[in-house]
Structure 1
Amino acid sequence: MHNECGIGRSEENLVILQGWSIAKHHALIRAQDEGMFIESTGGRAQVRVNGNAIKEKLGPISSTDIVEIGDYRLRIFSDSGSRVAAPGSIQVPHDGPATDPAPAPAVGAAVATPPASDSTEIATTADAPPDIVVWRERVHASLVKQMDLRRVDVRSLTDAALREKTIELIEAVMDKEYADLPKIINRRMLAKQVLDEAIGLGPLEDLIDDNTVTEIMVNAHDQIYIERSGRIEKSAVHFTNDRAVLSAIERIVAPLGRRIDESSPMVDARLKDGSRVNAIIPPIALRGPSISIRKFAKKKLVGRDLLGYGSINEGMLAFLETAVSERKNIVVTGGTGSGKTTLLNILSNFIPARDRIVTIEDAAELKLVQPNLVALEARPPNLEGKGQVTIRDLVKNALRMRPDRIVVGECRGGETLDMLQAMNTGHEGSLTTAHANSPRDAISRIEVMVLMAGMELPMAVVREQIASAVDMIVHQRRFPCGSRKVTHITEVTGIESGTIQLQDIFHYKVRTHHGADGKVEGTFEATGAIPEFMEELADRGVKIDLSIFRKPAEEY
Structure 2
Amino acid sequence: MDRAVAMANNPAHEIWFQNLKAEIHERLIAELDLEASRNVDEAVMRQELRLGVERLCNKHSDLLSSVDRVRLIEELLNETLGLGPLEPLMNDPSVSDILINGPTNVYVERKGVLERTSVRFRDNDHLIDIVQRISGRVGRRIDESSPMVDARLPDGSRLNAVIHPLALDGALVSIRRFSSNVLDIKDLIVRQTATSDMLSFLSACVKAKLNVLVSGGTGGGKTTLLNLLSGFIDKSERIATIEDAAELRLQQPHVARMETRSANIDGKGAITSGDLLRNALRMRPDRIIVGECRGAEAFDMLQAMNTGHDGSMSTIHANNTREALSRLEMLVGMAAPELPMWFIHRQIASAINIVVQVERMTGGHRKIVQISEVTGVHGELISMHDIFEFRRTGLDKNGHATGVFEATGVVPNCMSRLQESGIRPRDVQVI
What's the TM-score, normalizing by structure 1? Answer: 0.72
Provide the secondary structure at the position in 1 that maps to 2:242: strand
Q: C-alpha separation between the residues in 1 aligned to 2:46 and 2:329?
A: 51
Candidates 223, 228, 236, aligned match of 2:118 = 236
Q: Which residue of 1 aligns with 2:75?
A: 193
- 8 Å contact kept, 1:216–1:293: yes
Residues 158 and 265 of structure 1: is their aligned pair in 2 closer, same or farther, counting only changes over 3 Å? farther
Q: For residues 476-525 of structure 1, what are the alpha-carbon distances to aligned partners after superposition, in whole Å with 9 as ceiling and x for unaligned?
A: 1112221111110000111111210111010001111x223321111100
Q: For residues 143-198 of structure 1, what are the alpha-carbon distances to aligned partners after superposition, in whole Å with 9 as ceiling and x for unaligned?
A: 3333334543255555445434433332232223x222332643112211121122
Gaps in structure 2 of 5+ consecutive residues = none
- 8 Å contact kept, 2:362–2:399: no
- Alignment partner of 1:545 is 2:423: no
Q: For residues 53-89 of structure 1, what are the alpha-carbon distances to aligned partners after superposition, in whole Å with 9 as ceiling and x for unaligned?
A: xxxxxxxxxxxxxxxxxxxxxxxxxxxxxxxxxxxxx
Candidates 508, 516, 525, aligned match of 2:406 = 525
Q: C-alpha separation between the residues in 2 aligned to 1:378 and 1:539?
A: 37
Provide the secondary structure at the position in 2 that maps to 1:351: coil
- Alignment partner of 1:536 is 2:413: no
- Alignment partner of 1:168 is 2:31: no
Question: How far did residue 545 of structure 1 move?
Answer: 2.1
Q: C-alpha separation between the residues in 2 aligned to 1:350 and 1:196?
A: 42
Question: How far did residue 454 of structure 1 move?
Answer: 4.1
Q: Which residue of 1 aligns with 2:378?
A: 496
Q: C-alpha separation between the residues in 2 aligned to 1:412 and 1:324?
A: 23
Q: For residues 401-434 of structure 1, what are the alpha-carbon distances to aligned partners after superposition, in whole Å with 9 as ceiling and x for unaligned?
A: 1111111111111110011111111111111111
- 8 Å contact kept, 1:509–1:523: yes
Q: Which residue of 2 aligns with 1:315?
A: 197
In structure 2, what residue type is equivalent to 1:431? M
Gaps in structure 1 of 5+ consecutive residues = 1-116, 118-123, 549-556
- 8 Å contact kept, 1:139–1:173: no
Q: Which residue of 2 aligns with 1:453?
A: 335
Provide the secondary structure at the position in 1 that maps to 2:84: coil
Question: How far did residue 238 of structure 1 move?
Answer: 1.5
- The root-mean-square deviation of aligned C-alpha atoms, in Å, is 2.4
- 8 Å contact kept, 1:332–1:476: yes
Aligned length: 424
Residues 146 and 297 of structure 1: is their aligned pair in 2 closer, same or farther, counting only changes over 3 Å? closer
In structure 2, what residue type is equivalent to 1:494? G
Q: C-alpha separation between the residues in 1 aligned to 2:8 and 2:340?
A: 76
Question: How far did residue 468 of structure 1 move?
Answer: 0.7
Structure in which a larger fraction of residues adopt helix: 2
- Percent of paired sites with the same residue: 44
Q: Which residue of 1 aligns with 2:265?
A: 383
In structure 2, what residue type is equivalent to 1:345? N
Q: Which residue of 1 aligns with 2:85?
A: 203
Residues 169 and 457 of structure 1: is their aligned pair in 2 closer, same or farther, counting only changes over 3 Å? farther
Q: Which residue of 1 aligns with 2:217?
A: 335
Q: C-alpha separation between the residues in 1 aligned to 2:291 and 2:188?
A: 20
Question: How far did residue 437 of structure 1 move?
Answer: 0.6
Q: Which residue of 2 aligns with 1:306?
A: 188
Structure with more relative contact order (C-alpha pairs < 8 Å, separation 6 or more): 2
- Alignment partner of 1:427 is 2:309: yes
- 8 Å contact kept, 1:493–1:503: yes
- 8 Å contact kept, 2:8–2:68: no
- 8 Å contact kept, 1:143–1:173: no
Larger CA deviation: 322-331 vs 196-205: 196-205
In structure 2, what residue type is equivalent to 1:516? K
Q: Which residue of 2 aligns with 1:17?
A: none
Q: C-alpha separation between the residues in 2 aligned to 1:159 and 1:547?
A: 49
Residues 128 and 214 of structure 1: is their aligned pair in 2 closer, same or farther, counting only changes over 3 Å? closer
What's the TM-score, normalizing by structure 2? Answer: 0.92
Provide the secondary structure at the position in 1 that maps to 2:34: coil
Q: C-alpha separation between the residues in 2 aligned to 1:547 and 1:371?
A: 23
Q: Equivalences for 1:30-429 in 2 at 5 Å?
A: 131-132=13-14, 134-153=16-35, 155-157=38-40, 159-176=42-59, 178-183=60-65, 185-429=67-311
Question: How far did residue 233 of structure 1 move?
Answer: 1.4
Q: Which residue of 2 aligns with 1:62?
A: none
Q: C-alpha separation between the residues in 2 aligned to 1:199 and 1:141?
A: 17
- 8 Å contact kept, 1:339–1:484: yes
Q: For residues 343-388 of structure 1, what are the alpha-carbon distances to aligned partners after superposition, in whole Å with 9 as ceiling and x for unaligned?
A: 1111122222111111111122222221111211111112332211
Q: C-alpha separation between the residues in 1 aligned to 2:252 and 2:15?
A: 47
Provide the secondary structure at the position in 2 that maps to 1:434: strand
Larger CA deviation: 483-492 vs 167-176: 167-176
Provide the secondary structure at the position in 2 that maps to 1:493: strand
Q: C-alpha separation between the residues in 1 aligned to 2:218 and 2:296?
A: 20
Provide the secondary structure at the position in 2 that maps to 1:392: helix
Residues 540 and 390 of structure 1: is their aligned pair in 2 closer, same or farther, counting only changes over 3 Å? closer
Larger CA deviation: 155-164 vs 210-219: 155-164
Residues 431 and 128 of structure 1: is their aligned pair in 2 closer, same or farther, counting only changes over 3 Å? closer
